[in-house]
Amino acid sequence: MSYLDQIDPRRVPRHVAIIMDGNGRWAKSQGQPRSAGHQAGVKSLHETLRGAKEAGVKYLTVYTFSTENWNRPRQEVETLMNLMVWAIEQETPGMIENGVSLQVIGDMSRLPENTRQRLQKCISDTAAGKVITLILAISYSARWEITRAARQLAEKVKSGKMKADEITEDAVSAQLTTINYPDPDLLIRTGGEVRISNYLLWQIAYAELYFCDTYWPEFGPEDLYKAIVEYQSRERRFGKTSEQVSDETK
Ligand code: IPE
Ligand code: IPE
Ligand code: MG
């Protein structure tokens, strides 16, 4: 029996965020170069996106390349940039057909001009997709994003567009790259490490966290469904008591 059958369709996480980790270790375990792991990871993303759509997830945000990943060997960075563009272009027709809209969050100014333009084209080509939004976090880190938000708010106050006491949580959220998406309900990290690595720190304040040992190239729809089933077994209290929560759902 598939885990899909165990999912309660009324309580599917609207937004799932994934830290796709373990490509390099998977490749090593196969006696292959790290690049082979990244290549295999593309297929996992394709399959996982299909699974997310099947389960009824509306937003899937995947950590594709972090700010800190710029510090990897130049050759690996280059491979990853090329692979990203190649994969996205190859996937675009299928995404259009399946109602997937592609979005990107992160510091695009650090990407090579050509990469940026080609990504932008895929974003426009898939803009009409209404079934699921795939958000790639590229050249992204939460501290970069929060620092940028602080700077933007400071500029607004300085120019008189805003008062300091108007800086509310909503005002901060509105300066983040994720302004158009709800906060993630479920955060998954593959590859065995139990850390957040500078991902969506503000937005995951109340997300349910799920860590699995599976290397990303071996992750697929069943693993996603399993995580969703586990998510549905948790009680999200948002600071309240269990009794309050069960009264609210009556
Ligand atoms: C995740 O896999 C992909 C990126 C960070 C781009 P890794 O490349 O981090 O793989 P491991 O963690 O070294 O196995
Ligand atoms: C996090 O993985 C970034 C991505 C998955 C893109 P890393 O492999 O870079 O994280 P650390 O270095 O193990 O924390
Ligand atoms: Mg890693």
Relative to the alpha carbon of 76, which ligand is closest?
1
- Model confidence at 15, in pLDDT bands (50, 70, 90)? very high
Q: Residue 226 pLDDT more than 90? A: yes
Strand spans (E) along 23-74:
59-66
What is the model's pLDDT at position 55?
A: 98
| Residues whose beta carbon lies within 6 Å of some atom of ligand 1 | 20-25, 65, 69, 80, 191
180 catalytic per annotation: no
Ligand 1 centroid distance, CA of 35 (Å): 10
Q: What is the dihedral of CA 50, 51, 57, 58, to 10 degrees?
A: -10
> Per the residue annotation, which of 5, 23, 69, 98 is the catalytic one?
69
CA angle 182, 183, 186 (to 5 degrees): 120
CB of 187 within 8 A of CB of 17?
yes
* pLDDT above 90: residue 61: yes
Whole-number Cα distances in Å, 28 to 20, 24, 34, 45, 173: 16, 6, 7, 20, 40
Which residues have CB under 6 Å of ligand 2? Answer: 19-21, 63-66, 69, 193, 195, 197
**Which residues line ion ligand 3, judged by CB < 5 Å?**
21
Each residue of 83-108: pLDDT tens digit? 999 999 999 999 999 999 999 999 99
Q: Give the predicted TM-score (pTM) of the model.
A: 0.98
Residue 98 CB coordination number (10 Å): 15
With a cut of 90, say whether residue 139 has pLDDT above it: yes
